[in-house]
Amino acid sequence: MSEPTSIEPHPSAHHHVARMSGRDTLEHHRTATTLELLFDLTFVIAFSLAASQLAHLFAEGHFTAGLMGFGFATFAICWAWINFSWFASAYDTDDWIFRSVTMVQMVGVLILAIGLPPMFESIDKGEHLNNGVMVLGYVVMRVAMVFQWLRASRQNPARRQACIAYVKAISAAQLGWIVLIFFDFSLVVTFAMVVALTAVEMVGPCIAEMRYGGTPWHAHHIAERYGLLAIIALGEGVVGTVASISAVVDGDGWNLDVALVCLAGTGLTFGMWWIYFLLPSAEVLHHHRLKRSFVWAMATSRSSPRSWPPAPGCMWRPIISSTRPISVRWRPC
């Protein structure tokens, strides 16, 4: 009678501390991790709140305030996602330290999301920009992000200068965002400062990647990460289509409008999917790794279905008029 054999747990199940020396840029079968997918869910919440605020202002006819708020919110949300995703592509160790710090960043994203409604309201009222809660969320995320970059700079000496460049850019920009909390600037001055701080945010990665040798991010992994976020956004388009159909049926019953709304919503979502995945992004990004990667990242994040106006990845949701139950107005979901 044979003795039972013991099964040793896979080394990855322990999640012991690993050296953050950088991932292999040519690693085969590199895919998104379950932690990254979980991280993305916090951004789904943030984008949904931003879209809801845009819908509210559009329904009230405040189009300028809605678009300004949505643009600011979209940049803040997308930039937080980009910061994490590119770092993870280069230095994801999947040890308990990396996982714990990522959880802290997820908390920061949720705080950022909570601060979106006050920000939209302040823009609508024409007061100073009330982004204090959003900045608090960024502080939480940035403290965690700086810790990650400092860890990488210490454990990957060959790319220390690039990592420190990220640390300096993140810290300088974050100090600027904090200043906006404590000084009561007008909206015009605030948005001028926002433009300047946005430039600082973007110049840092350019310097790190082009002047100091860059980081070992994986082209196929990055392309997949952006694609998965786009799919999540397109999923909201499907939800918006169903909501639109339900509103039409509740208002007018089953008629030709139901078929037209279904066709339009599904067709628009399908068309955005087709356009987004038209080119082999991974191969293009890998081929132009040194010169055009950052341009690709910015262009892709801004052309993603998540940031397409008037609402990110959503169809137009009808609102049944309270005074004329049969009539239908439209707003973004």
Please count the structural domains in the chain: 2
Q: Could you say which of 217, 240, 271 is where a domain stops?
A: 217
Determine the 3-state secondary structure of 320 from DSSP: strand
pLDDT digits (tens, 9 = 90+) for 140-170: 999 999 999 999 999 999 999 999 999 999 9
Q: Could you say which of 198, 217, 236 is where a domain stops?
A: 217
Alpha helix stretches (DSSP H) within 253-328: 256-276, 281-287, 293-303
**One domain for residues 51 and 125:** yes
Question: What's the confidence (pLDDT) of residue 55?
Answer: 83
Is the Cβ–Cβ distance between 332 and 311 less than 8 Å?
A: yes
**One domain for residues 208 and 231:** no
Q: How far is it, in rounded angstroms, from Cα 93 to Cα 9?
A: 18
Strand partners, 332: 316
In a domain, 18, yes or no: no
Which of 39-43, 54-58, 234-238: highest mean pLDDT? 39-43
pTM: 0.80
Question: What's the confidence (pLDDT) of residue 291?
Answer: 60
In a domain, 63, yes or no: yes
More confident residue, 172 or 299: 172
* Burial (Cβ within 10 Å: 0-12, 13-18, ≥19) of residue 276: buried
- Domain membership of residue 235 as a residue range: 218-333
**One domain for residues 78 and 102:** yes
**One domain for residues 201 and 242:** no
Question: What's the confidence (pLDDT) of residue 319?
Answer: 36
pLDDT digits (tens, 9 = 90+) for 55-111: 889 888 999 999 999 998 988 998 999 999 999 999 999 999 999 999 999 999 999
Q: Could you say which of 217, 252, 282 is where a domain stops?
A: 217
What integer best gives the mean pLDDT of the chain? 81
In a domain, 326, yes or no: yes
**One domain for residues 183 and 229:** no
pLDDT digits (tens, 9 = 90+) for 166-202: 999 999 998 988 887 787 777 788 778 888 888 888 8
Q: How far from 86 is each of 91, 166, 180, 201, 224, CA to CA, in Å? A: 9, 12, 27, 14, 12
Q: Which of 129, 151, 147 is nearest to 197 (CA)?
A: 129
Question: What's the confidence (pLDDT) of residue 333?
Answer: 42
Q: Quick one: pLDDT band at residue 317, thresholds 50, 70, 90?
A: very low
Mean pLDDT over residues 253-282, rounded? 88
